[in-house]
Chains A and B, each alone.
Chain A
Amino acid sequence: MAKALVFIDNPGAALKKSSLELLTIARSLGEAAVAFNGELNEDVAAALGAHGASLLYRPSATDLDDYLVAPKAAYLAAAVAASGAETVLLENTADGKEIAARLGVKLNAGVITDVVGVDADGTAHKSVLAGSYTTTAKARTAVAVLTVKPNSVDVEAAAAASTPETVTIDVPADATAAAARITGRAEKPASGRPELTEARIVVAGGRGVDGDFGPLEELADALGAAVGASRAATDAGWIGHDYQVGQTGKTVSPQLYISAGISGAIQQKAGMQTSKVIVAINKDAESPIFEIADFGIIGDLFKVVPQATEEIKKRKG
Chain B
Amino acid sequence: MKIVVLVKHVPDAQFDRHLTGPGNTTDRDESILSELDEYALEAALQLSEARGGAKAGNEVIALSMGPAGAVNAVKKSLQIGASSGAHLSDDALAGSDAAATSLALAAAIRYLGTDAPVDLVLTGMASTDGETSLVPAQLAERLGLPQVTFASSLDVNGERVVARRDGDAHSDTVEATLPALVSVTDQINEPRYPNFKGILAAKKKKIAALTLADIGVDAAQVGAAGSLTAVETAEARPPRTAGTIITDEGDAGIKLVEFLAAQKLL
A binds B: yes
| A contact set with B: CB distance below 8 Å | 68-70, 73, 93-95, 97-98, 100-102, 104-106, 108-114, 123, 127-141, 178-188, 190, 195-196, 201, 223, 241-242, 247-248, 255-256, 266-267, 270, 273-274, 277-279, 281, 285, 290-300, 303-312, 315-316
Q: Say whether B242 faces chain A, with CB atoms less than 8 Å apart.
A: yes
Chain B residues with CB under 8 A of A109: 228
Q: Say whether B141 faces chain A, with CB atoms less than 8 Å apart.
A: yes
Chain A residues with CB under 8 A of B157: none
Q: Say whether B90 faces chain A, with CB atoms less than 8 Å apart.
A: no
Measured CA separation A281–B180 after assembly (Å): 46
Number of residue pairs across A and B with beta carbons under 8 Å?
A: 269
Known interface pairs A127-B237, A135-B19, A188-B171. Does A94 touch B231 (Cβ–Cβ under 8 Å)?
Answer: no
Question: When each residue 165-177 of chain B gets 1 if its CB lies under 8 Å from chain A and 0 otherwise, what string results?
Answer: 1111111111110
Determine chain B's interface SS by DSSP, over half rule: mixed
Q: Say whether B84 faces chain A, with CB atoms less than 8 Å apart.
A: no
- B contacts with A, residue count (CB < 8 A): 86
Interchain CB contact under 8 A, B260 and A256? yes
Measured CA separation A290–B243 after assembly (Å): 8
Interchain CB contact under 8 A, A294 and B230? no
Contact residues of B between 133 and 187, Cβ < 8 Å to A: 133-138, 140-142, 144-150, 152, 161, 165-176, 180, 185-187
Determine chain A's interface SS by DSSP, over half rule: mixed
Nearest residue, chain A, Cβ from B142: A105
Interchain CB contact under 8 A, B252 and A307? yes
Measured CA separation A111–B23 after assembly (Å): 18
Contact residues of B between 2 and 53, Cβ < 8 Å to A: 13-14, 16-19, 24, 26, 36
Option from A106, A132, A136, A308 in Cβ contact (under 8 Å) with B231: A136
Measured CA separation A68–B252 after assembly (Å): 49
Interchain CB contact under 8 A, A140 and B229? yes
Option from B145, B169, B172, B228 in Cβ contact (under 8 Å) with A178: B145
Interchain CB contact under 8 A, B234 and A133? yes
Q: Say whether B200 faces chain A, with CB atoms less than 8 Å apart.
A: no
Measured CA separation A281–B234 after assembly (Å): 33
User: Nearest chain B CB to A84's CB is how many angstroms away?
Assistant: 19
Known interface pairs A180-B148, A182-B173, A248-B36. Does A315 touch B17 (Cβ–Cβ under 8 Å)?
Answer: no
Segment of B60-68, B97-105, B115-123 engaged in the interface with chain A: B97-105
